[in-house]
Amino acid sequence: MPRLFWDHAGHGEPLVLLHGIGSTHADFTALRPALDDRYAVFAPDLPGQGASPAVTGVPSVAALADAIEADLDDLGLHRVHLVGNSLGGRIALELAARGRALSVVAIAPSGLGLPPERLYEGALLGGTRMVLRSSRRLIEPASRSRWGRTVLLTGLRSMPWRASRPEALALRDGIAGAGDFWRLLWHAVLSDVPTDLRIPDIPVVLAQGTADVLAGGQTPRFRVLIPTARFTPLFGAGHAPQSDRPAAILALVDGAVAAARAAGTRSAPEPLGAVRGAPRGD
């Protein structure tokens, strides 16, 4: 039985969506209708966020990847297509290095920020946590209007008025409500420095919004560790651009999956285990 909360919908090749720190699986709401039509989509709340329990011990990237990997085993999924944003992108690359990926689309993965960039990122995320934590009861009413969602998601989206209510509410259950936020921020984001990402010969796409005000220019630096990866800018998009440029992201996912198919990579069968949470669209 999986330990984490997973939202599941669709049929076909398995696709796992990994959100960033301070959010939940709902951060991918804008992409889900199209992805659910094409793939068997599995979207967890990362450990210590949303409805998922925290890991025991230090919540490092390796520990978070261990938790995802254990649940993939319970679900009967050996190798999957991975899409991750921010911390989720970093975890996706870690899982790929462990041989669990068919393809990877990593959007603004964390881990290669310079010291001043890490200080800025920590201050921005920490300050946002304190503000939203103190006004958590206001997030739900604010999520009902376009103006409220714009206020809540400015800094993460370049076009926050396009975001849906579930995307805004993800902040309530993620950055405002996550009991393990500070440990995750320190151990999984600010202290994390990937040094060994020997990823098998699979399609790896690195993407970052050109209007990303949180992560600086760290995404292209991953090409030093992953020389076979392809970098694609998402023009006009923010740090978490799922509703800024959904069509562009879908094209990247479909392209990576098609490349994996062309290379003859075999996908896992339909999952064998039970999924916690409320499956959608089945």
Q: Name the residue ranges covered by the structural domains of the chain.
A: 6-262
Question: Tokens at residue 114, please?
Answer: 């310079």
Give the Cα separation of 21 and 128 in Å (integer): 12
Average pLDDT over residues 25-52: 98
pLDDT band of 282, cuts 50, 70, 90: very low
Query: Is residue 38 predicted with pLDDT exceeding 80?
Result: yes
**pLDDT 10s digits, 219-275:** 999 999 999 999 999 999 999 999 999 999 999 999 999 999 998 865 555 554 446
pLDDT at residue number 275: 61
Q: Are 226 and 93 spatial neighbours (Cβ–Cβ below 8 Å)? A: yes
How confident is the model at residue 272, as a pLDDT?
Answer: 47
pLDDT one-digit tens code per residue, 167-206: 999 999 999 999 899 999 999 999 999 988 999 999 999 9
Question: What does the pLDDT look like over 92-119, one tens digit per residue?
Answer: 999 999 999 999 999 999 999 999 999 9
Q: Is 6-262 CATH 3.40.50.1820?
A: yes
The answer, yes or no, to whether residue 279 has pLDDT greater than 50, is: no
| Closest by CA position to 104, among listed 275, 255, 239 | 255
CB atoms within 10 A of CB 279: 14
Could you read off the pLDDT of 116-130 as tens digits, one per residue?
999 999 999 999 999
Predicted pLDDT at 271? 52
Estimate to the nearest angstrom the gap between the alpha carbon of 10 and the chain centroid.
19
Q: What is the pLDDT of residues 137-159, one digit of tens each?
A: 999 999 999 999 999 999 999 99
pLDDT of residue 281: 41
> In angstroms, what CA-CA distances link 44 with 2, 41, 80, 82, 91?
10, 10, 14, 12, 12
Stronger pLDDT, 276 or 58, i.e. the higher one: 58
278: which 2 tokens? 């409320």
The helix or strand, by DSSP H or E, that contains position 96, with its residue range, turns out to be: helix 87-97
User: In this predicted structure, what is the pLDDT of residue 266?
Assistant: 57
Q: What whole-number distance in Å separates Cα of residue 162 and Cα of residue 150?
A: 8
- Average pLDDT over the chain, rounded to whole? 93
Rounded CA gap, 20 and 45, in Å? 10
Q: In the predicted model, is pLDDT for residue 276 greater than 60?
A: no
Helices assigned H by DSSP within 135-270: 139-142, 146-153, 165-171, 181-184, 222-225, 246-262
